[in-house]
């Protein structure tokens, strides 16, 4: 069944992140048509299992989550279908009406360019079984790859672009064409707002030169106390772009070896295996009588960022939503960032690497993960 876009605007309240009191509070997106209020706390679907994805999404909607965040490529191009089935379940069970939901998805990089982008959108709409997407983003500013079986020795010999389908010279034009297609989709009512993901300041500035619709409604980026991206946050605030943080809890791409570099094993203390159990995070959580996950999510809200935590665990689903009745002081946030950065700097020096290179916990297998290209 294809659900109509003729419903009224979402029944949500526009607030600042600090003032948000519930899962229906959100931020009014720039250039949205009709108006889209993006909830400050959404439900993420990255790496949700195929067998539990549909059920988890319905459960999240039952608990009050109103934004479901997904992407064309998630789950080997299977997750959007699970999201679509879950939406149908929720609608048919009377849990929610379509106009109360904000469905967010992303165009994949192998579809860069005008016509391919529109093709990607039509595939997403078919999988989601919807006739519009509320928030549609460019997933990644970089090139597609000819293979995912990229050899490190070949990259070391030939350079980071060795397996790239697109050339570095062509990318700015391709992104401009992609954005032009997204503007067309916005005009045609197939999407209600358009934005980007993983864009650096230079990527945004380049896009601004050709964009008709500006600013992008959203820039979804990796952001957490270990990788605070202060300069990019300041730029987006100046331009009127909503920052939506992913990997707020540290992501799933950094392994135990990474964390042992920051916090070497010590006799009598439990090993640090993720950002959630890093000592500064645990210490602050104990100080404010909250869980580490709640502290990390609240850290983002204090910086006026939206968040997209993902879980298939009912208890953590509730926990991730319970972040509206406490706050963190500027001093607490600064100390958290300082403590983590200090460890990061020590590890980077010992490893002969860069702080930025280590701090970015996601996209760790992508040769261009640091976005240091035009």
- Which residues participate in catalysis according to the annotation? 74
Q: How far is CA 102 from CA 27, 140, 263, in A?
A: 12, 21, 39
- Determine the Cα–Cα distance for residues 4 and 1; give it in Å rounded to an integer: 10
- For the chain, give the longest Cα–Cα distance: 62
Residues forming a β-bridge with 164: 145
User: Which backbone phi and psi does 295 adopt, to 5 degrees?
Assistant: -65, -45
Element at 137 (helix H, strand E): strand 135-138
- Reduced to 3 states, what is the DSSP secondary structure of residue 288? helix
By CB atoms closer than 10 A (0-12, 13-18, 19+), residue 293 is buried
* CA-based nearest residue to 232, from 220, 250, 249: 220
Q: How far is CA 336 from CA 251, 295, 299, 300, in A?
A: 18, 10, 9, 12
- Determine the Cα–Cα distance for residues 237 and 235; give it in Å rounded to an integer: 5
Residues forming a β-bridge with 106: 137
Q: How far is CA 327 from CA 26, 104, 271, in A?
A: 17, 27, 28
Listing DSSP states for 197-250 in one string gives: ES--HHHHHHHHTT-SS-S-SEEEEE-BTTB--HHHHHHHHHHTPEEEEE-TT-
- Reduced to 3 states, what is the DSSP secondary structure of residue 63? coil
| Residue 213 Cα to chain centre, angstroms | 21
Give, as one character, the DSSP assignment of residue 75. Answer: H
Structure tokens at 68: 């479901």
């Amino acid at each position: 069944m294809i659900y109509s876009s003729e419903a009224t605007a979402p029944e949500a309240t526009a607030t600042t992140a600090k003032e948000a009191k519930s899962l229906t509070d959100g931020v009014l997106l720039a250039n949205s048509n009709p108006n889209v209020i993006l909830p400050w706390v959404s439900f993420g679907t990255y790496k949700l299992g195929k067998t539990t994805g549909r059920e988890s999404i319905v459960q999240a909607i039952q608990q009050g989550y109103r934004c479901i965040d997904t992407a064309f490529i998630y789950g080997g191009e299977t997750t959007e279908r699970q999201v679509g089935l879950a939406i149908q379940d929720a609608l048919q069970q009377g849990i929610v009406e379509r106009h109360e939901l904000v469905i967010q998805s992303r165009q994949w990089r192998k579809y860069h360019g005008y016509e391919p982008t529109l093709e990607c959108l039509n595939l997403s709409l078919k999988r989601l079984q919807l006739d519009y997407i509320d928030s549609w983003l460019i997933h990644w500013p970089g090139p597609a790859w000819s293979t995912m079986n990229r050899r490190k020795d070949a990259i070391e010999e030939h350079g980071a672009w060795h397996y790239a389908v697109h050339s570095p010279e062509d990318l700015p034009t391709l992104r401009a064409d992609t954005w032009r297609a997204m503007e067309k989709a916005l005009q045609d009512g197939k999407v209600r707002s358009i934005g980007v993901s993983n864009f650096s300041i230079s990527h945004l500035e380049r896009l601004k030169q050709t964009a008709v619709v500006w600013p992008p409604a959203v820039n979804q980026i990796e952001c957490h106390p270990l990788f605070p991206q202060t300069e990019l946050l300041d730029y987006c605030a100046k331009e009127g772009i909503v920052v939506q943080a992913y990997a707020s809890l540290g992501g799933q791409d950094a392994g135990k070896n990474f964390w042992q570099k920051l916090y070497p094993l010590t006799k009598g203390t439990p090993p640090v295996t993720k950002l959630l159990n890093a000592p500064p995070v645990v210490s602050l959580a104990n100080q404010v009588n909250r869980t580490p996950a709640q502290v990390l999510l609240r850290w983002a809200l204090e910086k006026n960022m939206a968040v997209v935590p993902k879980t298939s665990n009912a208890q953590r689903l509730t926990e991730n939503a319970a972040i509206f009745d406490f706050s963190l002081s500027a001093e607490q946030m600064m100390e958290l960032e300082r403590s983590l950065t200090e460890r990061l700097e020590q590890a980077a020096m010992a490893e002969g690497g860069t702080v930025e290179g280590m701090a970015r916990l996601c996209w760790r297998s992508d040769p261009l993960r640091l976005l240091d290209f035009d």
